[in-house]
Structure 1
Amino acid sequence: MDKITRKNSFRQWFSPINLQLVEENVKMMKLDYYTKKLTTESFLELLLFAQLQEVESLHALSDCLFDDQLQKEIDLDSISISQLSRRLNGINPDIFQRIFLDLVTQIHEKTHYSKLVMPLKIIDSSTLPLNLTNHRWAEFRKTKAGVKLHLRLVFMEKGISYPEKGVLTNAKEHDRNQLEVMVDDKECMYVFDRGYLDYERFDRMTDDGYFFLTRLRKNAVIRVVDDFKLPVDSAVLSDQMVLIGTTQNRAENYFRLIKVVDSKGNVLQLITNRFDLSAEEISEMYKSRWAIELFFKWIKQHLNIKKFYGQSESAIHNQVFIALIVFCLNVLAQINTKSKRTILQISRFLRASLWKPAYIWLLKIEGKGAS
């Protein structure tokens, strides 16, 4: 990042967002046709501010405009709650999804993603609960409502993980139905848990040239075809070539079954269609799956996606994609400064220096500021 800048910290953090892309999509979607005051760009900045500051409601966000610095930043001196609500419910979530995907592309480029021999992509989902009375469209169970965020996370070396693709569905949607949507890259290794078990899809993925690693249920029917020899000091219990499934529901391809013991002493049965790696390497790959659990935990704790500002489907989707944009902007700040600070530290330092000159925030996250 450029340290010799007159930008404030918020504007520096915001700078990876491609405003030309935003403008093109605003025109294409006709998002600002009847807008005199709260443009899409100003609304984007306001929602990002709300996420950073963990603003709890549209009422509170409207009150935040009492801040002269915020008024100056988004060129808006006041806005009513009803205007905020109409904008949140009416704006097409595609605009925020495209901004998110553009930031992902930037992260790919800056992390030398394409140079990795076999990137790991972790697939999982998390349900975001909603109030059934206010969200009938998202009915989940008799007394519950919710949406489900299906996510693909890129797991990089040096501990950098970031969301690459997100799909929002009704919470009733089964994880298996999203597997084919999430699998589109033959140059990576997909890691996912038992919720995605589907022998027919495993065959299809294998026949189409996709690599995967997942976990079998304890009661899975297995026929051992061959046993592979393990090193004497291996922590792996067994390494076998197997056929999986019953006569009525059986996969056609041969797979590799590796049994390992987790940190709690439970035996895990890992299934994969890769035979070129050692059993230990496969076992280590599966451990990376916890990165997505940590990601979901992080965004639920530190971003505003537990309490939603609106009741419509568009409002919920908009708020979730804004949260993903915030996370990607923090990752880019971490990468651009080569910072050893955590995403949480970067975010806290930003909140503390939001309207101060950008160099103060940059020096702090680079570890050069005052302790």
Structure 2
Amino acid sequence: MAHISIPKHKIQSLTFDKFKFPLVKLLTLAPELHSRGDRPLKMTFEDQLNALVYFHLQEHKSARHLIQDLDENEFAKQNIAPDGGISRSSFSEIINGRGLEQLQFIFENLYNQAVGVLPKAHAELGDLVSIDGSLIDAVLSMHWADYRKNSKKAKAHCGFDINHGIPNKIFLTEGNGGERPFVSRILSKGQTGVMDRGYQSHKDFDLLQEESKHFVCRIKARTTRTIVKQNAIKPDSHVFYDAATLLGTPNQNQTKNPVRVVGYEISGVKYYVATDRHDLTAEQVASVYKLRWTIENFFKWWKEHLKVYHLIARSEYGLMVQILGGLITYLLMAIYCQEQFNEKVSIKRVRQLRTTILNELMNGQNLDRGNSNGNNIVKDQKNLKQAKT
């Protein structure tokens, strides 16, 4: 009797497929990644993106850890790694040398998808973007990442969409890179940049107004203010100052256009905030500045729970590739949490996602199940296939 070989089922996770679903259509629209020689690509852009998302989602601690998983974990071998696997040296060459244009396309378009899914908070305050920089520890061999003697760091300059709770812009420089030049590049017309006092620049305040971009920026208490118009203060308010002023010293660094300054006190600390938003009450201006902390919370969460700064790249190009991979993973998580649980991103849901994927793989979930769950899998797999066409 002839031996009949029964083909092995591909190990799949319905939850992981759902998590990645927003990428399906975008992958067909992304700029094509071409091989630099005559040989076909060892690792396609889809393979590269899958590996980056898998790296951040599963908390790998190094490129070595990731490559080992791609080689030994059956699910990773079948669903993440390119056909035939990938060596650590080849992976390093790929991460440090290609895919940046495609990742930027995915990030920008995935952000637009997320905006259409996520609820909008603070709509009455306008389109708010918190702006800040975050230092990334580098190694001494990363010569481009100048910071201090015997210390290398890079700096990510990020815009964070406060209303939707997601990042929307990212730039990368050496650790000593100036932050102010990126404000105008991060903001679009009509948006309000929310910034700490390190971004105080009277020249930039004028420039932003000329570009129809708005700002709410904390300023130093000792900043010279020439009052143009004093605004009334509500009784019993935490606001003690509200005036249209010319900031700075005349004939030196004074603003050309009047800037509104709101002063308020919280827990014994006095804040002075400059803005061109005259449509808001003084109390609303104070509330907008308080929302700046959303970007600080994002940086903390992003570093701690997605392990985005466990370096798998050394070049500036490669580090940007890694960072975009982390941001894309965060956007996918934001969409997934909203659609599945009607919630914001939380470490609880990240851990639950990882556990669910692991349980599905351990249980050998596949398309041959004849129960209703199996029918749901078939339906979802058909949706994934249709999305690609």
* TM-score after normalising by structure 1: 0.86
Deviates more, 1:215-224 or 1:18-27: 18-27
Q: 1:3 matched to which residue of 2? A: none
Pick aligned residue for 2:31 from 3, 25, 31: 25
Q: CA deviation at 1:321?
A: 0.7
CA gap of 1:31–1:11, structure 2 versus 1, over 3 A, is: farther
Unaligned runs of 5+ in 1: 1-5, 363-371
Matches of 1:7 and 1:131, distance apart in 2: 36
- Written as runs of structure 1 = structure 2, the 5 A alignment for 1:283-322 is 283-322=286-325
2:177 aligned with 1:177: no
- Written as runs of structure 1 = structure 2, the 5 A alignment for 1:343-358 is 343-354=346-357, 356=360
Deviates more, 1:109-118 or 1:191-200: 109-118
Pick aligned residue for 2:169 from 162, 165, 177: 165
Secondary structure of 2:280's match? coil
What one-letter code is carried by the residue in structure 2 that aligns with 1:40? F
Secondary structure of 1:354's match? helix
Q: 1:229 matched to which residue of 2? A: 232
CA gap of 1:138–1:115, structure 2 versus 1, over 3 A, is: closer
Q: 1:14 matched to which residue of 2? A: 20
Pick aligned residue for 1:202 from 205, 219, 238: 205
Unaligned runs of 5+ in 2: 1-11, 367-372, 377-389
- Written as runs of structure 1 = structure 2, the 5 A alignment for 1:95-134 is 95-111=102-118, 116=123, 118-132=126-140, 134=141
What one-letter code is carried by the residue in structure 1 that aligns with 2:22? P
Secondary structure of 1:335's match? helix
Deviates more, 1:245-254 or 1:79-88: 79-88
> Which whole-Å deviations, capped at 9, do the CAs of 1:200-247 have from their partners, x for residues lacking one?
121122233222110111221112233222221211112122111002
Answer whether contact 2:333 2:345 (CA < 8 A) is retained.
no
Pick aligned residue for 1:38 from 36, 43, 50: 43
Matches of 2:117 and 2:38, distance apart in 1: 36
Answer whether contact 2:131 2:194 (CA < 8 A) is retained.
yes
* TM-score after normalising by structure 2: 0.83
Q: 2:54 matched to which residue of 1? A: 49
Pick aligned residue for 1:84 from 88, 91, 106: 91
What one-letter code is carried by the residue in structure 2 that aligns with 1:250? Q
CA gap of 1:331–1:308, structure 2 versus 1, over 3 A, is: same
Q: CA deviation at 1:24?
A: 4.2
Matches of 1:151 and 1:224, distance apart in 2: 33
Secondary structure of 2:318's match? helix
Q: CA deviation at 1:307?
A: 2.2
Q: 1:146 matched to which residue of 2? A: 153
Answer whether contact 1:259 1:270 (CA < 8 A) is retained.
yes
Whose radius of gyration is greater, 1 or 2? Answer: 2
Matches of 1:72 and 1:149, distance apart in 2: 34
In percent, how many aligned pairs have the same letter?
27
What one-letter code is carried by the residue in structure 2 that aligns with 1:129? D
> Which whole-Å deviations, capped at 9, do the CAs of 1:110-155 have from their partners, x for residues lacking one?
23669945221111111112112x1012222222222211111111
2:65 aligned with 1:60: yes
CA gap of 1:141–1:217, structure 2 versus 1, over 3 A, is: same
Matches of 1:277 and 1:31, distance apart in 2: 54
Answer whether contact 1:121 1:154 (CA < 8 A) is retained.
yes
Secondary structure of 1:337's match? helix
> Which whole-Å deviations, capped at 9, do the CAs of 1:227-284 have from their partners, x for residues lacking one?
2222212111121221110021100111111111134x21110111122221111111
Secondary structure of 1:61's match? helix
Matches of 2:288 and 2:282, distance apart in 1: 10
Matches of 2:46 and 2:99, distance apart in 1: 13
Matches of 1:115 and 1:231, distance apart in 2: 22
Q: 2:253 matched to which residue of 1? A: 249
Matches of 2:45 and 2:99, distance apart in 1: 10
Q: 1:325 matched to which residue of 2? A: 328
> Which whole-Å deviations, capped at 9, do the CAs of 1:132-188 have from their partners, x for residues lacking one?
2x10122222222222111111112xxx410011111222211111122112222x3
Answer whether contact 2:194 2:215 (CA < 8 A) is retained.
yes
Q: 2:4 matched to which residue of 1? A: none
Matches of 1:163 and 1:267, distance apart in 2: 29
Secondary structure of 1:253's match? coil
Answer whether contact 2:334 2:344 (CA < 8 A) is retained.
no
